[in-house]
C-alpha cells in the first residue's frame, strides 16, 4: 500500500500529485468537505519507497491502495504526472471510477525533444540537489502573478520539491519519458470528467487541455484565471469551487463545501 492520508467521510476523492512533489501538495483541498479525501504519495515520493515504475504499475499501486482501504470505486484526480497515472488507471481499472479530474496534464506522449529533456534531468538529478531541480522548474510551473504576489506559494512549492530524493526524481523521469499515448483511450472514458487548466500553464498549456476535454465524451473544461501549472496551490479557492461545482452538478454528490 502506498503511504497516504485519509480524511473525511463520503464518496472517496483520490488525488494524485504532480512531479516532483508528494501528497502535501493537496493541503488546500482539505477545505473540500463531504468527501473522503485520500491522497497517496506516488512511488518514489514522500514516504512511498522508490520502485522501477511505469504509469501502469503506478496506477496498479493506487488500485492496491484502494483495496487496502476497502474502497471499491472513487473519483480520481491527478495533476500533471498524477494525471498521466490517472489516465492509466482509467484504462486499467475503469470499473473502479465514478469520475475523473484531469488537472494541468496531457494525454499525448513525449516527443523526441521532450525525451531528450528527460535525459538531461536524469543526468542532472544524479549530481544536482533536489532543490536545484525544483528551482529550475519554478519559472515554468508557477505563473508570473504567483511568482510575484504569492511568495508563500513559491516557498511551499520549493520546500515540497526540495524534500524529494534523486532516486525518486530519476525513476519518475524514466516513467514519464516512457509513458504511452493515452489519446486513443480518451473516447472510451465513460464517467463524468472534469479537465482543469491554469490559463498561464507553460508546461501543459490550455490548448492541449481543451483538445483533451473535447476527446472525452461529455467532459467539462475549466480554465482558471491567474494560474499556471499548479492551480490547486496558485488559486486554491477558484480550484476548489470548480471541483465542488462539478461534483454537485456532474457527479451528483451532495453539496460539499469548497472552504471559506
Ligand atoms: C509535472 O508537473 O508533474 C511534470 O511537469 C510533468 C512532466 O514533466 O511531464
222: cell is: 475549466
Domain-located, residue 257: no
Neighbours of 158 (CB within 10 A): 16
Confidence label for 117 from pLDDT (cuts 50, 70 and 90): very high
State residue 251's pLDDT score. 81
Domain-located, residue 155: yes
Q: How far apart are CA 158 and CA 156, in angstroms?
A: 5
Ligand 1 mutation pick, 204, 208, 228, max ligand atoms within 8 A of CB: 204
**Residues 222-233: pLDDT tens digits?**
999 999 999 999
168-191 mean pLDDT: 96
Domain-located, residue 30: yes
70 lies in which domain range?
4-249
Confidence label for 255 from pLDDT (cuts 50, 70 and 90): low
Q: How far apart are CA 47 and CA 38, in angstroms?
A: 15
Q: Is the CB of 182 under 6 A from ligand 1?
A: no
Q: How far apart are CA 40 and CA 85, in angstroms?
A: 12
Taken in order 258, 251, 74, 212, the sign of the CA dihedral is negative
Q: Is the pLDDT of residue 40 over 80?
A: yes
Q: What is the CATH number of the domain that holds 64?
A: 3.40.50.1820
Q: pTM here? A: 0.96
State residue 257's pLDDT score. 64
Which atom, in ligand 1's list, is nearest to the CA of 176?
A: 9
Q: How far apart are CA 30 and CA 203, in angstroms?
A: 26
Q: Of the candidates 106, 88, 90, which has an alpha carbon nearest to the alpha carbon of residue 98?
A: 90
Q: What is the mean pLDDT of the chain?
A: 95
Domain-located, residue 167: yes
Q: Is the pLDDT of residue 123 over 90?
A: no
State residue 125's pLDDT score. 82
Q: Is the CB of 176 under 6 A from ligand 1?
A: yes
Domain-located, residue 10: yes
- State how many domains the chain has: 1
Domain-located, residue 61: yes
Which atom, in ligand 1's list, is nearest to the CA of 203?
A: 5
12-31 mean pLDDT: 97
Q: Is the pLDDT of residue 109 over 70?
A: yes
How would you classify residue 46: left for phi > 0, otherwise alpha for psi between -120 and 50, otherwise beta? left
Q: Is the CB of 132 under 6 A from ligand 1?
A: no
Q: Is the CB of 81 under 6 A from ligand 1?
A: yes
Q: Is the pLDDT of residue 256 over 70?
A: no
Q: Is the pLDDT of residue 16 over 70?
A: yes
81-110 mean pLDDT: 97
Q: Is the pLDDT of residue 253 over 90?
A: no
Domain-located, residue 63: yes
Q: How far apart are CA 5 and CA 25, in angstroms?
A: 12
Residue nearest atom 7 in ligand 1 by C-alpha distance: 81
Q: Is the CB of 80 under 6 A from ligand 1?
A: yes
CB neighbour burial string for 10-32, b if at least 16 within 10 angstroms, e if fewer = ebbbbbbbbbbbbbbbbebbebb
Q: Cα of 10 to ligand 1 centre, how many Å?
A: 30
Q: Is the CB of 62 under 6 A from ligand 1?
A: no
Ligand 1 mutation pick, 21, 44, 81, max ligand atoms within 8 A of CB: 81
Q: Cα of 141 to ligand 1 centre, how many Å?
A: 9
Domain-located, residue 259: no
State residue 133's pLDDT score. 87
Which atom, in ligand 1's list, is nearest to the CA of 81?
A: 3
Confidence label for 130 from pLDDT (cuts 50, 70 and 90): confident
Over pLDDT 90: what percentage of the chain?
A: 89
Amino acid at each position: 500500500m502506498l503511504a497516504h492520508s485519509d480524511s473525511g467521510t463520503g464518496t472517496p476523492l483520490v488525488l494524485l500529485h504532480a512531479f516532483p512533489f508528494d501528497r502535501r501538495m493537496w493541503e488546500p483541498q482539505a477545505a473540500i468537505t463531504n468527501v473522503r479525501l485520500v491522497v497517496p504519495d506516488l512511488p518514489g515520493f514522500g514516504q512511498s519507497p522508490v520502485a522501477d515504475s511505469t504509469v501502469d504499475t503506478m496506477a496498479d499501486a493506487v488500485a492496491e491502495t484502494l483495496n487496502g482501504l476497502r474502497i471499491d470505486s472513487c473519483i480520481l484526480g491527478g495533476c500533471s504526472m498524477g494525471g498521466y497515472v490517472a489516465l492509466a488507471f482509467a484504462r486499467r481499472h475503469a470499473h473502479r471510477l465514478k469520475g475523473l479530474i484531469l488537472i494541468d496534464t496531457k494525454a499525448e506522449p513525449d516527443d523526441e525533444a521532450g525525451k531528450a529533456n528527460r535525459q538531461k534531468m536524469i543526468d542532472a538529478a544524479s549530481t544536482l540537489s533536489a532543490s536545484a531541480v525544483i528551482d529550475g522548474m519554478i519559472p515554468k510551473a508557477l505563473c508570473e502573478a504567483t511568482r510575484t504576489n504569492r511568495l508563500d506559494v513559491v516557498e511551499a512549492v520549493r520546500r515540497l520539491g526540495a524534500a524529494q530524493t534523486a532516486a525518486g526524481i530519476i525513476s519518475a523521469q524514466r516513467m514519464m519519458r516512457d509513458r504511452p499515448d493515452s489519446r486513443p483511450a480518451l473516447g472510451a472514458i465513460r464517467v463524468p470528467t472534469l479537465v482543469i487548466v491554469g490559463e498561464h500553464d507553460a508546461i501543459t498549456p490550455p490548448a492541449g487541455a481543451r483538445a483533451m476535454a473535447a476527446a472525452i465524451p461529455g467532459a467539462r473544461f475549466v480554465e482558471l484565471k491567474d494560474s499556471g501549472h499548479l492551480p490547486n496551490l496558485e488559486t486554491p479557492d477558484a480550484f476548489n469551487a470548480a471541483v465542488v461545482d462539478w461534483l454537485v452538478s456532474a457527479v451528483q454528490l451532495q453539496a460539499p463545501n469548497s472552504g471559506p
